[in-house]
Chain A
Amino acid sequence: MKIQGKMFIWLSVFVLAIAIVYGVWSKEPAGTTALFLAFGLCIMIGYYLAFTARRVDAGAQDNENAEVADDAGELGFFSPHSWQPLSLAVGGALTFLGVCFGWWLIYFSAPVILIGLFGWVFEYYRGENRTQ
């Protein structure tokens, strides 16, 4: 993760330089604000990665001479098929439409969002995926 952290830190340095140049040159608040925020986002990711890299091993994926066996074992958990994202997205879409057509739509979208959220959060507590 070290190299990835460095990449984002370099990127943030670049964005910072651009933000200063842009701000001084254009004297325009919107773009300058956005660029400084972009700098903040980049440094956040970069710092997190560099911070994590100091606490974990480099890992086989960043080792040029790694063997396939170096990453043997559990690779990670991959969620099975699910309809919960659809429910949450339908609710979200209704909410966004509520902004266009009137806030009353949100009364109808809130239950759908809650169903989606509830289903998503408690997915592994019930049903066929309970043991996952």
Chain B
Amino acid sequence: MHGTIMLLMFATPLFAGFANWIMPLQIGAPDVAFPRLNMFAYWLYLFGSLIAVAGFLTPQGAADFGWFAYSPLSGVVRSPGVGADMWIMGLAFSGFGTILGSVNFITTIICMRAPGMTMFRMPIFTWNVLLTGASRGVHHRVAVLRHHFRGHSGLLPEADVRLHRSDRRDDFHRRSFGDGLGAPHVCDGRRAIAVLLLHDIPHRGPDRCEVLQLDRHDVEGLALLRHYVIFGTVVFAMFSGFHFWWPKFTGKMLDERLGKITFWTLFVGFHGTFLVQHWLGVEGMPRRYADYLAADGFTTLNTISTIASFLLGLSILPFFYNVWKTAKYGKKVEVDDPWGYGRSLEWATSCPPPRHNFLTLPRIRSESPAFDLHHPEIAALDALQNGHGSADDKALAGGKEAGK
């Protein structure tokens, strides 16, 4: 359930939330393409997640076969109880929400861009939304099929790492799909690649070892790398997104000093918790072990990890204080772009945006329309240096577009 909540109930909807807020602004659209479908997708996510989590209220407890639910571990023999069924049905239900949400995002990006906002003038975030949407649709089906067939082909659960590694075919299978599966579903393709690449590392040595003792080395790395990659991307991206777009969401800038405190406590806590687990893994600490002997020599690093994880948890407090303080004492932002050098289109409308996002749209001649609008002299200089476009366009065309 930890992995399920972290990936499918936190990271995925977090991404969908940011996409809903920012993506239409970035492409100059008045709204998303299908507001109703969007709302429906949210309710599917909410109820699906509640169904999966409600397994905790059943007598046998919630599903405890991990977020990957490998067969046959997730089968009815090894995981009895209705909690497992609720997990499956809850995720299937919220998965429909994810697919419908992706349909909405893709349609919005394909059909509702502002005049001049060509595909290659879209900001990287909007591209992420598009690619994630496309991969979600595909991967969800892959996931369902794979789980279904896997149950019958008698492949092994990840829990038994030793056996798992002796099966080359399965290993190939898992590397190519297993670990990447959840990741694109979670957020974006880059992370999927990162997860795949990083997961290769702990495999490399032990893969060739036949001895059980050696085989179990750095298995901790498996659990660790997932957290290192996912936490490092999702949570840091979440906080940076909040701090960056807070004026766009609410019309008030978050406090800079508190933001820095949030970052540094988060950063130190994050590395203190997860980085040391790399070394624990190298020393031979297996994953999913709740306890160990003093003679194992894992105590120091585990102590560091535990202390740092408290710091990590506490780092949310300055952020909450910041939100409260900003709401109460923050000054209203009067300009479109409080940062001064915002590039993408969301900085060309007021903070927060009016109903249907834009009162006037700027003319889009580069991938930085808001920057061109607020700093026409630099845009003009850029255009002159590149010596391109008609006389009229020279003033506004950005350098990157000159070659087209």
Interface residues of A (CB under 8 A from B): 1, 3-4, 7-8, 11, 15, 22, 25-31, 33-35, 37-38, 41-42, 49, 60-71, 75-76, 78-79, 82, 84-86, 88-90, 92-93, 96-97, 99-101, 120
Q: How distant is B231 from chain A, measured CB to nearest CB, in Å?
A: 28
Is B134 within 8 A of A68, CB to CB? Answer: no
Is A29 within 8 A of B47, CB to CB? Answer: no
Is B110 within 8 A of A4, CB to CB? Answer: yes
Q: How distant is B154 from chain A, measured CB to nearest CB, in Å?
A: 12
Q: How distant is A30 from chain B, measured CB to nearest CB, in Å?
A: 3
Does B304 lie at the interface of the complex (its beta carbon under 8 Å from any beta carbon of A)?
no
The answer for the CA separation of A19 and B388 in the assembled complex, in Å, is 44
The answer for the CA separation of A93 and B46 in the assembled complex, in Å, is 10
The answer for the CA separation of A89 and B90 in the assembled complex, in Å, is 12
The answer for the CA separation of A119 and B404 in the assembled complex, in Å, is 50
Is A30 within 8 A of B47, CB to CB? Answer: no
Does B51 lie at the interface of the complex (its beta carbon under 8 Å from any beta carbon of A)?
yes
Query: CB-CB < 8 A to B117: which residues of A?
Result: 61
Does B13 lie at the interface of the complex (its beta carbon under 8 Å from any beta carbon of A)?
no
Stretch in B168-176, B251-259, B277-285, B323-331 with 4+ CB within 8 Å of A: B168-176
From A11, A64, A68, A82, B118 is in contact (CB under 8 Å) with A64
Extra inter-chain contacts (12) besides given A30-B150, A68-B362, A97-B86, CB under 8 Å: A3-B118, A26-B173, A30-B153, A34-B146, A63-B116, A68-B116, A68-B361, A78-B35, A85-B39, A89-B44, A90-B47, A99-B85
The answer for the CA separation of A70 and B363 in the assembled complex, in Å, is 11
Interface residues of B (CB under 8 A from A): 30-31, 35-36, 39-40, 43-44, 46-48, 50-51, 82, 85-86, 89-90, 92-93, 110, 112-119, 134, 137-138, 141-142, 145-146, 148-150, 153, 169, 172-173, 176-177, 356, 360-365, 393, 401, 404
Query: CB-CB < 8 A to B115: which residues of A?
Result: 60-61, 63, 66-71
Q: How distant is B378 from chain A, measured CB to nearest CB, in Å?
A: 20
Is A78 within 8 A of B364, CB to CB? Answer: no
Q: How distant is A54 from chain B, measured CB to nearest CB, in Å?
A: 16
28 contacts between A and B (CB under 8 A): A3-B119, A11-B134, A22-B176, A26-B172, A26-B173, A30-B145, A30-B146, A30-B148, A30-B150, A31-B177, A34-B141, A35-B142, A37-B145, A38-B138, A41-B137, A61-B116, A62-B119, A64-B365, A66-B115, A68-B116, A68-B360, A75-B30, A85-B40, A85-B43, A86-B43, A96-B92, A100-B86, A120-B36
A35: nearest chain-B partner, CB-CB: B142
Q: Which 5 A-B pairs have the closest CB atoms?
A: A30-B149, A89-B43, A60-B115, A66-B115, A93-B47
Q: How distant is A3 from chain B, measured CB to nearest CB, in Å?
A: 6
Query: CB-CB < 8 A to A38: which residues of B?
Result: 138, 141-142
Q: How distant is A100 from chain B, measured CB to nearest CB, in Å?
A: 4
Q: How distant is B80 from chain A, measured CB to nearest CB, in Å?
A: 13
Query: CB-CB < 8 A to B118: which residues of A?
Result: 3, 61-64
Query: CB-CB < 8 A to B356: which residues of A?
Result: 78
Is B82 within 8 A of A93, CB to CB? Answer: no
Is A92 within 8 A of B93, CB to CB? Answer: yes
From B93, B153, B176, A93 is in contact (CB under 8 Å) with B93
Is B173 within 8 A of A92, CB to CB? Answer: no
From B82, B116, B360, A64 is in contact (CB under 8 Å) with B116
Query: CB-CB < 8 A to A92: which residues of B?
Result: 44, 47, 93
Is B47 within 8 A of A89, CB to CB? Answer: yes
Query: CB-CB < 8 A to B119: which residues of A?
Result: 3-4, 7, 62
Query: CB-CB < 8 A to A76: which residues of B?
Result: 30, 112
Is A31 within 8 A of B146, CB to CB? Answer: yes
Query: CB-CB < 8 A to B43: which residues of A?
Result: 85-86, 88-90
From A34, A61, A66, A86, B145 is in contact (CB under 8 Å) with A34
The answer for the CA separation of A65 and B113 in the assembled complex, in Å, is 14
Query: CB-CB < 8 A to A63: which residues of B?
Result: 115-116, 118
Query: CB-CB < 8 A to B114: which residues of A?
Result: 61, 68, 71
B361: nearest chain-A partner, CB-CB: A68
Query: CB-CB < 8 A to B35: which residues of A?
Result: 78-79
